Structure 1
Amino acid sequence: MTKTTRRTALLMTLAAPFVARGAAAADYPAKALKIIVPYAPGGGADAVARILAQNAGASMKQSIVVENKGGAGSIIGTDLVAKAEPDGYTLLLGQSGPISINPAVYKSLPYDPAKDLAPVTMTNSYPYVLVVNGKLPVNSLQEFIALAKSKPGAMNYGTTGVGAANHLMSELFSSKTGVKMTHIPYRGTALAVADAVAGNVTMVFSDPVSALPQVNSGNLKALAVTSPARATAFPTVPTMKEAGYPEVEAVAWHGIFVPARTPQPIVDRLNAEFVKALQIAEVKDVLSKQAMTPVGDTPQEFAAFLKKDLATWKDVAALAKVSVE
């Protein structure tokens, strides 16, 4: 074999994986896809994944199966996708918790979202709602902060656990307002909200769906939402910015991810299909009932958001000295 022949053979060998991926992208999708939801069935993430799978699958003329892989604070399902074949057939319905919050609070994770996952699109976002017991003698965020400051350490706040998203949200609130309260962790938002109704905790940063019935009944008062704009579920409740605290702005979100190194043409195809699905009236209706706002951005826009989001929560976790083994 001549030197030229050997060089040609080597180049063909090195190029083979890229040629194969290009061919796979051209034929994509040739079989059913699956979306991994790192939570148990029945929650908000599950509802988002199923309505999007139904509509994006119909457009792609392939079924998209939703598989729930909950456990270990959503780490199990997220890691499964991070280590999956990067061929576009295994997707993740990611959320702010496992993607932005976990890396900020866990001392070690089996995956690195920045290196092991490729963002496709943010599907939807929703605010945290600051709620207090309905009998608390305050009717605005300013009044609540003044009351809390008059009794430093006497009030408390409920969360879904140490290192959870609403734990860090509460710590961000404390750092920007100067309010000092005691942390009471629970095993889920429903329990924290129930104890706020009972008056056992003073404040909870709740998701809109969990808070709305109790606010409508008068058992809780909603004082502010953390989104840039007012939430459709709470049209009369001011944003943190409107209430004078623009630094206490953050949203929870869901988004579609694929394993890193998935061919860009496949990422772009998935982006187009899921963004299109988010425009369908049926999808918008399901999201609206969950008090969620559809997004549908580009992979590049989503990546830029994620970089900023992770940096924010790392700073909050470090300042509050929040960590999980």
Structure 2
Amino acid sequence: MNLHAKDASMKRSKNPARRSAIAAMLGAAALWALHPAAVAQAWPDKPIRVIVPYAAGQGADVLARLVFQEIGKRLNQPIVIENRAGAGGNIGSAAAARAPADGYTFLFGTNATNAANEFLYANPGYDAAKDFVGVAMIGLLPMVIATSDADLPANSVPALIERARAKPNALNVGLPSTTAQVVFAEFVKSAQAPLFAVKYKASGQSLTDTMGGQIPLAIDTVTAARPHLASGKLRAVAITSLKASDMLPGVKSVAEQGVQGFDVVAWDALFAPRGTPAHIVQELGGHIRHVLEQPDMRRRMLDIGVEPLVMPPAQLDAFVKDERQKWGDIIKAAGIRIE
């Protein structure tokens, strides 16, 4: 026998404890490699896809590109915005629900896709409550009640209610979206103000008719109404968030003008297919929080009509559950449906 080999063999045989310790260390290392924390260190190792269930250039798309450009820099990976528009957001949301829950596909959801659509459509094609988990809130999009009526000054909810009660269904309100219809229905109910709904297909025509005096009021997004408010062609009766917003300085909320608890706003948030590893959800949520807290990002979001709101996964899930209940109750009571 080779003397070196014999010597090595004797050393191994004389140190069974050492051999056991080494084996244990190797086994522990192998287990650690499979541990979620170890896997988390490798994420992401390829581009991430965020499905926006609306057309390029629309509000949700503009916001998603703004925020995730910064998130991509922090993750050092490209984030691909994939527009899958159609059926009020249902087509893109269904695609996201069917995607692998591997941390590389997310849904840029809204109050429509994740709270309202199940009550508006007979078959949305996915189950918002069962198919998704929350990652992070992105921001709120309050609506504004705007008027050109000379008898309705700014911040005039009490006067609007008084006029509506004096002449029921005589005051027309332009409604260019489903969200506007929901805001209208809740205002009529909560304020006991019998107004008359006039549905429009787009903001442009609704606001044009309001400015031209064909109808006295419209409910629309702050983004759509703000240029006309700034020019003086329209006045803000109220904003629909619970409290006043930096987006419209000096404009009081409906609640602040006497309709207690009124709070109906659109919102955007990021969701993951259910089953996505929790550590990925938490990590991505943390990156979003950091980006939203930057003063420049807040300014840029306010400029496009979105109020940043930090909300971690568990809180977002609870919020969406409450919103689903609220929007569902309003939609069913008002009989709003989309065929």
TM-score by length of 1: 0.88
Q: Are 2:190 and 1:154 equivalent residues in the alignment?
A: no
Letter of the structure 2 residue corresponding to residue 213 of structure 1: P
Structure 1 residue 21 displacement after superposition: 7.7
Q: How does 1:1-325 map to 2 (within 5 A)?
A: 25-132=40-147, 134-139=148-153, 140-161=156-177, 164-325=178-339
SS at match of 1:87: coil
Letter of the structure 2 residue corresponding to residue 123 of structure 1: I
Structure 1 residue 281 displacement after superposition: 3.5
Structure 1 residue 202 displacement after superposition: 2.8
Match in the other structure for 1:12: none
Which 4+ stretches in 1 moved above 6 angstroms?
19-23
Q: What is the CA deviation profile of residues 93-149 of structure 1, one whole-angstrom value per residue up to 9, with x for unaligned ones?
A: 1111221121222222101111111110101112111112x2341221111111122
SS at match of 1:242: helix
Distance in 1 (CA, whole Å) between partners of 2:208 and 2:129 is 36
Letter of the structure 2 residue corresponding to residue 247 of structure 1: G
SS at match of 2:169: coil
What's the RMSD between the two structures over aligned residues? 1.8
Structure 1 residue 20 displacement after superposition: 9.6
Q: What is the CA deviation profile of residues 158-187 of structure 1, one whole-angstrom value per residue up to 9, with x for unaligned ones?
A: 2224xx111011000001112223322212
| Cα 1:81/1:21, change in 2 over 3 Å | farther
Distance in 2 (CA, whole Å) between partners of 1:20 and 1:196 is 61
| Cα 1:269/1:144, change in 2 over 3 Å | same
Distance in 2 (CA, whole Å) between partners of 1:191 and 1:34 is 35
SS at match of 2:138: strand
Letter of the structure 1 residue corresponding to residue 176 of structure 2: T
SS at match of 2:184: helix
Distance in 1 (CA, whole Å) between partners of 2:231 and 2:222 is 14
Which has the larger Rg? 2
Distance in 1 (CA, whole Å) between partners of 2:116 and 2:184 is 13
SS at match of 1:254: strand
| Cα 1:195/1:98, change in 2 over 3 Å | farther
Distance in 1 (CA, whole Å) between partners of 2:197 and 2:280 is 44
Is there any run of 5+ residues in structure 1 with no aligned partner, and where?
1-18
SS at match of 1:128: strand
SS at match of 2:108: strand
How many residues are aligned here?
A: 304
Distance in 1 (CA, whole Å) between partners of 2:172 and 2:261 is 21
Q: What is the CA deviation profile of residues 245-278 of structure 1, one whole-angstrom value per residue up to 9, with x for unaligned ones?
A: 0232122111111111111111111111111111
Is there any run of 5+ residues in structure 2 with no aligned partner, and where?
1-33
Identical positions, percent? 30
